[in-house]
Structure 1
Amino acid sequence: MKIAELITWFESWANPAWCESWDNCGWQIEPGILEDEAKVLVCLTPTLAVMEEAIALHANLIFAHHPLIFNPPKSLCRGEAIADMVRLAFTHNIGVYTAHTNFDQVEDGTADVLAQILQLKDVTPIVPTQNGLGYGRVGLLEPFLTLQELLTVIQKRLSPPDLIFSPNANLQQVISKVAVLGGSGASFISAVVKTGAQAYLTSDCKFHQFQESRDLGLILIDAGHYATERPACDRLVEKFRSLNIDLVQLSNHDEDFRQFFQSGN
């Protein structure tokens, strides 16, 4: 399958026109590779380490969730990450394509994959956008779990380096309805409360957002940005492999960008 055909297939599923006005979906770098046979490296975040991995694999497309470029750069200078990515991309004929807020909304996108990992039933978007799609997912646990059991499931299935949850939460509280949103989802707290969910799994929550959730009677669970979005990259790999592309691989050099100190190590 040619790269142009792959992108057409993807955009028929997750239209880049759906991305938010502040976002940057679609081609980040296209060095003239549209008619080449696709050899794809999928990652969460495009970095120099991922670019070097693509070069070593002889891949010609980095397909990322996070945009390489959010805002137009004022200059491109050697030694700067974006500039070096652009230089290497054109030198080695490697494109960089991003699916961000458009991929968040769709079936089998970031939120939907999280809901599937937790095996939620009767799933609907937290905030509907169009045609049954939308941001986040909320659904039922069957069977119900205690909060402690739910946290154990999240730890086991997502393997976050750190798992934070609301203060004063009763670990023996029975949880029947859960909301999920991969990545930074604290701005959706009020919308989650309206769904009747008892617990909300997301990431990048600040101190006072835990306070807000507690005051609203919602158990906020922060598993980290990487842990809540990386599983959707696995799903992309599965979908691309079903298209019989010559090379599709999940990056081994994706980074969490955070480390947690463990005393005694």
Structure 2
Amino acid sequence: MAVTVGLVAQIIEKIAPKSWAEDWDNVGLLVGSGSDSVERILITLDGTLEVVEEAKAYGAQLIVAHHPIIFRPLKNLRADNAAARVPLRLLGHQIGYYAAHTNLDQSIISSSRALGEVLGLQEMKILEESAYNLIPIPKRDETARGYGISGYLKKPEKLGPLWKRFLDSLSQSGIYAQPYELSGVRLAGSLEKEVRKVAIVNGSGGRFVPKALFKGADLLITGDVDHHAVLDALEGDMAVGDLGHFLSEAPMLQAMYQYLTAEKSLQGIEIRVSSLNRSPWLG
């Protein structure tokens, strides 16, 4: 039986249903047709022009991405419209584009969980549960979902050595599909601070500072934390480790690869993680 874009979408939505996405988000098949056949899939975080050309050279019929390429209203498909360049290139190459974003962030293969496993956290729980989980419905079938995780180190560690151990472990863990440079990471807090409970949120996690403080975290690891959020965290005696947006989310690429390649109905399909998609920051 031929594998179609629609079948790949169904497989992804088994662990990250589109209904889990935020109202402002734009997930699912954004370019292409669900009936199109698939022989090769390219997995990426961002749908850049470079990645589209990589998919073309690879012979991929479908890009599975984390970030949507169409967020704001796309008013035209003119070649001089920067927002339209990627969709136009995809259409020209006849490559489909499927995005799993905030629904994937809440799934069992979120980067938050992968990073927590690298750190060796115990008793991991969802940091901010979806309101859905709080509605008492008997025999609920769907998996509990929410953003981020929190958990405990096996024993308390000082922040300085802990952060070094974490970055060293990231480099050796294999959760990054490519050898991304761990540059541009930032740490705020006393290096002598004792850390026992850690909260992790992949992506832009500045808004989770109050939640992590409320949950009693000694350290929040996330990305894109602004100046004032860091000050709030430090006022609450919580350290902050900022990996940046890309590095905090890239573990999902390997997780998605492993999930799709393990799917029996996709046996025979070639799947690859993009080697060109990297953080846009130079350092």
What TM-score, normalized to structure 1?
Answer: 0.91
Match of 1:154 among 143, 159, 166: 166
Post-superposition offset of 1:245:
4.6
CA distance in 2: counterparts of 1:155 and 1:245, whole angstroms: 36
Match of 1:4 among 2, 6, 12: 6
Q: Equivalent residue for 2:199? A: 179
CA contact (8 A) 1:39 1:61 kept: yes
SS for the counterpart of 1:125 is strand
Match of 2:259 among 232, 235, 239: 239
CA contact (8 A) 1:39 1:246 kept: yes
- In structure 1, stretches of 5+ residues that fail to align are 261-265
Post-superposition offset of 1:76:
1.9
What letter corresponds to residue 28 of structure 2 in structure 1? G
Q: Equivalent residue for 2:66? A: 65
SS for the counterpart of 2:72 is coil
Q: Aligned ranges for residues 38-117 of structure 1 at < 5 Å?
A: 38-117=39-118
Q: Equivalent residue for 2:149? A: 137
CA contact (8 A) 2:38 2:62 kept: no
CA distance in 2: counterparts of 1:144 and 1:116, whole angstroms: 16
- The runs of 4+ residues in structure 1 deviating greater than 6 Å are none
SS for the counterpart of 2:37 is coil
CA distance in 2: counterparts of 1:81 and 1:246, whole angstroms: 32
Aligned CA distance change for structure 1 residues 245 and 136 (closer, same or farther; 3 Å): farther
Q: Equivalent residue for 2:241? A: 221
- In structure 2, stretches of 5+ residues that fail to align are 134-142, 172-180
SS for the counterpart of 1:116 is helix
Aligned CA distance change for structure 1 residues 206 and 245 (closer, same or farther; 3 Å): farther
What TM-score, normalized to structure 2?
Answer: 0.86
Moved more, 185-194 or 155-164: 155-164
SS for the counterpart of 1:196 is coil
Say how many residue pairs are matched. 257
Aligned CA distance change for structure 1 residues 235 and 70 (closer, same or farther; 3 Å): same
CA distance in 1: counterparts of 2:128 and 2:146, whole angstroms: 5
Post-superposition offset of 1:173:
2.4
CA contact (8 A) 2:60 2:95 kept: yes
What letter corresponds to residue 40 of structure 1 in structure 2? I
Q: Equivalent residue for 2:140? A: none
SS for the counterpart of 1:162 is coil
CA contact (8 A) 1:6 1:38 kept: no
SS for the counterpart of 1:12 is helix
CA contact (8 A) 2:222 2:242 kept: yes
Q: Equivalent residue for 1:257? A: 280
CA distance in 2: counterparts of 1:150 and 1:73, whole angstroms: 45
Post-superposition offset of 1:43:
0.4
